[in-house]
């Protein structure tokens, strides 16, 4: 048997060698060895990648796993007027905060502590607990009531707490473990001279998840929003949010694997945001707001609804905005803290005039006769001369449609300056209709001139002015092409309304019948630009809509010789140490194609309006010799159901050396002279220091008698040096006002030694 095994082994081995099996095994060993080497190379490469190439990234991830960031909000920069008076600053607020980590360590998760705190502050404990729940988690309230910050960061539960409550929390630390009181900065509105300026300044609200998600697409160095941030939502707070917000401070808490805090380290101190110097003058703003409110009340006393209004005041030499007033307005402090739903809905309530709507740049209204300066300019370009006399009958026929003067008035044949003075509608109907016929009427030429339309575009109507604020309305200037485009969009709606009518107005049958007739007409030929459309366009009616600021820019261009300036609110940024970091320069956006002789026709007509025309009664007794005013009244007919006339007055002064453009409008306020012009005169009274018919720039509401050309001077601590003749808008805090801060500091100093003795 043994012999047989040996012989068999030899035979088999010899046979396998002959067949090459040993060579096959060697190949397998080589392949296996190569595989092992490749795996080792892969592991080595991965090791190099993790430990060398991406070492910083994974070190950062590891650091994040053992640290938690606590953000310290930076003090937001101030907003001041052109003289340095604070419009928005910061004040100290006593805030009750709760440490979520400390509350979680308690047996009941801090429920008993929050219940006791709720009894102290008058808010149920469950509501306080809800405020600590992170936004987006189950049972968390909707923003801004939920917590939008880190899970380890102290949560503000009560803002503007009273001194007694803050002291009770600080003194009874054993009763309120994990709860403390601290001083935080919140927005304050000094309102120099009573200036509100809520819409101009804007407001702050918590950052949204959408904004944070968008930011994640940016490099980490460019991510400037944090979950705890408040962000500007309108006005200057929104437009210049990044410069105003400063840089937050950061403290990193070192935690163990159970998220218990075992240490901390300070990464950076917060840096206060820059101060924004605006072109707004606090005194002019206050006077404009008061004048507008008084004109609204004056119109209402005469039986008009006067539901809203606006005033814009510009420096015609550079486009700087001295004042923007809107009525109705609201108290900007409503946004400080937590605004509730009822308060927010009140800001949007049409019955209250939608106080949140900023009418100088968002209010769209037909300009009425203030538009006639543009039609006059178009007529001069189209061949009419300054001395051409045009009939002013009480009515003018366009086809079968009779168009009338205001109250059926009539006059002798007028020159163009006299037509502006008398505001004769039939003169301008005639001009608009004649230019429409010249273009071919209902069968327009291939390249119709559309002179008035293009002149309105040259004045930049129908487009945003470019003011440094968001949500500016464009307005509407309608020509032949716009009419066709609108027809394509609206034809299905018009034809459906022509068939079905307006059942929603069943309680107003006459109004419903009128709307149905209009819809039927538009369904058939709504793309046609008719002679009546051209005639109404010439007097600023029909489909034309503008904002008060657009008209102010247009009149400023007439005043300064033809330059269209971009209106601007920001003048400069100044650092917390008083150093100028950025200056905004005036920007011209266009030039009117009008000769000095053509501009002179407009100047003469607008002066006649004030000295002997439709506004002469309003400016009776005004020192026109010293500071002559040029302007135009407007009484715009409002389309709609039983709407009253809107009052306009657009102007500039001094007419012999223009410096200011002032435009006012009161919606459903009556004639231009009876309401809007009254408000404008009050603004000029303040600017030129008019009292008892005498002007004196020493009494001007503008410090120094005119706009500030340069920038206010700032101290090293960032506070402005105010004009000597102007009372300080923010008085030095009294001892009573600072008592809460001093008390907390002393109390904290008293408690720290006691803690050390316990140890």
Please give the structure tokens belonging to residue 493: 């709606």
Residue 742 clears pLDDT 80, i.e. is over it: no
Query: 21-25, 224-228, 356-360, 455-459: which range is least confident on average?
Result: 21-25
Residue 582 exposure: Cα atoms within 13 Å on the Cβ side: 11
Query: 265-269, 311-315, 746-750: which range is least confident on average?
Result: 746-750
Mean pLDDT of the chain: 86
Task: Give me the pLDDT at residue 59, please.
Answer: 65
Task: Give me the pLDDT at residue 271, please.
Answer: 87
The dihedrals phi and psi of 698, each to the nearest 5 degrees, come to: -65, -25
Is 462 in contact with 475 (CB distance < 8 Å)? Answer: yes
Closest by alpha carbon to 392, among 376, 413, 406? 413
Residue 359 clears pLDDT 90, i.e. is over it: yes
Rounded mean pLDDT, 485-510: 92
Most confident residue range from 91-95, 172-176, 568-572: 568-572
Measured CA distances, 451 to 126, 379, 423, 484 (Å): 68, 8, 20, 18
Please give the structure tokens belonging to residue 439: 């273009």
Is 672 in contact with 292 (CB distance < 8 Å)? Answer: no
pLDDT band at 58 (very low <50, low <70, confident <90, very high): low
Q: Determine the angle formed by the axes of helices 451-458 and 425-438, rounding to 10 degrees.
A: 110
Contacting residues for 413 by C-beta, under 8 A, at least 6 apart? 389, 390, 391, 392
Separation between Cα atoms, residue 719 and residue 240, nearest integer Å: 19
Closest by alpha carbon to 650, among 667, 668, 672, 670? 672
Is 337 in contact with 131 (CB distance < 8 Å)? Answer: no
Strand partners, 631: 651
Other C-beta atoms lying within 10 Å of the C-beta of residue 643:
14
Closest by alpha carbon to 452, among 527, 528, 549, 529? 529
Please give the structure tokens belonging to residue 133: 């729940």
Separation between Cα atoms, residue 564 and residue 41, nearest integer Å: 71
Determine the 3-state secondary structure of 612 from DSSP. coil
pLDDT band at 552 (very low <50, low <70, confident <90, very high): very high
Closest by alpha carbon to 658, among 554, 559, 552? 559
Burial annotation 115-131 (CB, 10 A radius, 16+ → b, else e): eebbebbebebeebbbb
Please give the structure tokens belonging to residue 110: 């801090």
Residue 235 exposure: Cα atoms within 13 Å on the Cβ side: 26
Contacting residues for 322 by C-beta, under 8 A, at least 6 apart? 82, 279, 280, 281, 284, 285, 313, 314, 315, 660, 707
Task: Give me the pLDDT at residue 759, please.
Answer: 34
Closest by alpha carbon to 477, among 462, 464, 466? 462
- 628-647 pLDDT, tens digit per residue, is 999 999 999 886 667 899 99
Is 701 in contact with 686 (CB distance < 8 Å)? Answer: yes
Strand-pair category, 261-268 with 580-583: unpaired
Residue 508 exposure: Cα atoms within 13 Å on the Cβ side: 11
What is the torsion angle, in degrees rounded to the nearest 10, for the CA atoms of residue 122, residue 126, residue 132 and residue 135? -120
Is 224 in contact with 234 (CB distance < 8 Å)? Answer: no
Is 279 in contact with 315 (CB distance < 8 Å)? Answer: yes
Rounded mean pLDDT, 65-92: 85
Please give the structure tokens belonging to residue 331: 């108290």
Please give the structure tokens belonging to residue 497: 């309304």
State the pTM of this model. 0.81
Closest by alpha carbon to 632, among 602, 658, 657, 654? 602
Rounded mean pLDDT, 586-604: 97
- 684-725 pLDDT, tens digit per residue, is 999 999 999 999 999 999 998 999 989 999 998 888 998 875
Residues in the chain: 759
């Amino acid at each position: 048997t043994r012999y047989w095994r040996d012989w068999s082994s030899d035979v088999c081995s010899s046979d396998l060698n002959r067949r090459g099996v040993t060579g096959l095994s060697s190949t397998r060993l080589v392949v296996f060895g190569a595989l092992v080497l490749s795996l080792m190379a892969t592991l080595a490469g991965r090791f190099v990648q993790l430990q060398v190439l991406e070492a910083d990234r994974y070190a950062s991830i590891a650091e994040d796993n053992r640290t938690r960031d606590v953000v310290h909000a930076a003090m937001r920069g101030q907003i001041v007027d052109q003289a340095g008076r604070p419009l928005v600053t910061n004040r100290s607020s006593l805030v009750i905060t709760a440490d979520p980590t400390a509350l979680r360590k308690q047996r009941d998760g801090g429920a008993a502590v929050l219940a006791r705190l709720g009894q102290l502050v008058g808010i149920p404990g469950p509501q306080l607990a809800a405020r600590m729940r992170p936004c987006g988690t189950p049972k968390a309230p909707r923003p801004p009531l939920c917590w939008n910050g880190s899970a380890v960061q102290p949560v503000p539960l009560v803002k503007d707490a009273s001194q007694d409550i803050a002291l009770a929390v600080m003194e009874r630390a054993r009763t309120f473990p994990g709860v403390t009181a601290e001083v935080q900065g919140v927005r304050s509105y000094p309102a120099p001279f009573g200036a509100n300026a809520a819409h101009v300044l804007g407001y702050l609200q918590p950052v949204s998840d959408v904004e944070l998600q968008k930011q994640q697409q940016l490099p980490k160095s460019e991510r400037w929003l944090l979950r705890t941030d408040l962000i500007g939502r309108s006005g200057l707070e929104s437009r210049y949010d990044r410069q105003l917000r400063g840089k937050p401070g950061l403290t990193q808490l070192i935690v163990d694997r159970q998220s218990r805090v075992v240490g901390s380290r300070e990464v950076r101190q917060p840096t206060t945001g820059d101060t924004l110097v605006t072109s707004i003058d606090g005194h002019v703003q206050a006077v404009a707001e008061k004048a507008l409110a008084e004109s609204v009340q004056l119109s209402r006393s005469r039986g008009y609804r006067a539901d809203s209004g606006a005033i814009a005041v510009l420096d015609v030499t550079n486009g700087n905005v001295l004042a923007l007033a809107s009525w109705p307005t609201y108290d900007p402090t409503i946004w400080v803290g937590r605004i509730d739903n009822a308060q927010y809905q009140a800001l949007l309530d049409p019955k209250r005039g939608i106080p949140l709507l900023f009418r100088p740049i968002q209010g769209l209204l037909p300009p009425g006769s203030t538009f006639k300066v543009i039609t006059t300019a178009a007529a001069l370009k189209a061949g009419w001369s300054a001395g051409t006399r045009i009939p002013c009958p009480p009515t003018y026929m366009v086809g079968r449609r009779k168009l009338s003067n205001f109250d059926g008035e009539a006059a002798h044949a007028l020159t163009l300056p006299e037509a502006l003075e008398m505001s004769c509608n039939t003169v301008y109907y005639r001009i608009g209709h004649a230019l429409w016929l010249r273009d071919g009427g209902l069968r327009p030429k291939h390249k119709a001139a559309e002179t008035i339309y293009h002149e309105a575009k040259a004045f930049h109507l129908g487009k945003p002015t470019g003011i440094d604020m968001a949500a500016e309305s464009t307005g509407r200037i309608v020509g032949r092409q716009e009419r066709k485009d609108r027809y394509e969009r609206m034809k299905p709606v018009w034809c459906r309304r022509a068939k079905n009518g307006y059942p929603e107005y069943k309680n107003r049958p006459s109004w419903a019948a009128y709307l149905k007739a209009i819809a039927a007409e538009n369904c058939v030929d709504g793309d046609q630009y008719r002679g009546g459309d051209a005639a109404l366009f010439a007097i600023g009616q029909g489909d034309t809509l503008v904002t008060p600021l657009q008209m102010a820019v247009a009149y400023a261009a007439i005043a300064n010789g033809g330059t269209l300036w971009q209106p601007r609110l920001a003048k400069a940024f100044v650092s917390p140490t008083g150093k100028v970091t950025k200056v905004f320069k005036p920007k011209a956006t266009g030039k009117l194609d009008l000769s000095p002789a053509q501009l002179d026709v407009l100047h003469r007509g607008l002066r006649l309006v004030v000295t002997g025309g439709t506004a002469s009664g309003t400016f009776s007794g005004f020192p026109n010799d010293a500071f002559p005013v040029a302007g135009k009244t407007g009484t715009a007919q409002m389309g709609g159901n039983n709407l009253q006339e809107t009052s306009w007055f657009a102007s500039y002064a001094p007419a012999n050396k223009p410096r200011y453009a002032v435009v006012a409008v009161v919606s459903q306020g009556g004639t231009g002279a009876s309401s809007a012009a009254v408000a404008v005169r009050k603004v000029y009274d303040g600017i030129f220091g008019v009292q008892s018919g005498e002007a004196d720039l020493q009494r001007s509401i503008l410090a120094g008698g005119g706009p500030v050309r340069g920038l206010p001077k700032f101290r090293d601590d960032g506070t402005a040096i105010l004009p000597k003749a102007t009372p300080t808008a923010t008085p030095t805090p009294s001892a009573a006002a600072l008592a809460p801060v001093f008390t907390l500091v002393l109390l904290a100093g008293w408690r720290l030694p006691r803690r050390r003795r316990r140890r």
